[in-house]
Amino acid sequence: MKVTLNVNGEGRELDIDPRTTLLDALRNHLDLTGSKKGCDHGQCGACTVLVNDRRINACLALAVMHEDDEITTIEGLGQPGALSPLQRAFVQHDGYQCGYCTPGQIVSAKGMMSEFDLGWPSNVSDDLTAIPDFSRTEIRERMSGNLCRCSAYPGICAAIEDAAPEEGLKNTKAAE
């Protein structure tokens, strides 16, 4: 069936099988292979994209469900030569090894920051109504949906902390 997806600010027309996931639409039909498939089951986070600024697992969504949404993929955050602060920080802190989970980690980190800005608590927040603290433990908890078998977690956390001010993170205790 026909569907128009708005990806990285561009309208893209597609004629696809209704069973096509958002992830497969991006990877197999739009040549946007930056979003990775690690499990196809919502278990690894490699496929994380932003839909209207919220992070989701693109493998758990059907493309046709997202006709009117703003979709942002890793390609939309920055490209070689014009990397985003998060992308630069991942390179700087070796927040990866094989690089396969990396786009998902970066997009997820971006989405996580807007959740901080909205004051969302997490499973490790002491007070559910307070402004969350941008601490290592909070970052670790909130990034635990993104698996990295190369185990670059220390570099991933360091990169996120380093890039946060430049990414415009504001609403945290640390920024107060």
What is the identity of the amino acid at 47? C
Q: How far is the CB of 3 from another protein (least distance, A)?
A: 14
Nearest to 103 by CA among 90, 85, 116: 90
Residue 139 contact among another protein, ligand FES, none, beta carbon within 5 to 8 Å by kind: another protein
Segment near another protein (CB under 8 A); pick from 7-15, 71-79, 126-134, 161-169: 71-79
**List of residues 6+ apart from 101 with CB closer than 8 A:** 36, 38, 44, 45, 46, 146, 147, 148, 149, 150, 152
Q: Which of 3, 7, 38, 132 binds another protein (CB under 8 A)?
A: 38
DSSP assigned state of 51: E
7 membership: H or E segment, kind and range = strand 2-7
Query: How far, in Å, are 44, 48, 51, 76, 136 from residue 38 at the CA level?
Result: 6, 11, 19, 20, 25
Record the tokens describing residue 44, joined without a space.
């690894």
Question: Binding residue for ligand FES (CB under 6 A) from 6, 33, 97, 114?
Answer: 97
Closest approach of ligand FES to the CB of residue 168, in Å: 25
**Which residue stretch of 5-13, 81-89, 125-133, 161-169 sits at the interface with another protein (rule: CB under 8 A)?**
81-89
59 touches which of another protein, ligand FES, none (CB within 5 to 8 A by kind)? ligand FES
Q: Which residues bind another protein (CB under 8 A)?
A: 17, 19-20, 24, 27-28, 31-41, 43-44, 46, 73-75, 77-81, 83, 87-88, 90-92, 94, 96-103, 106, 124, 136-137, 139-141, 143-157
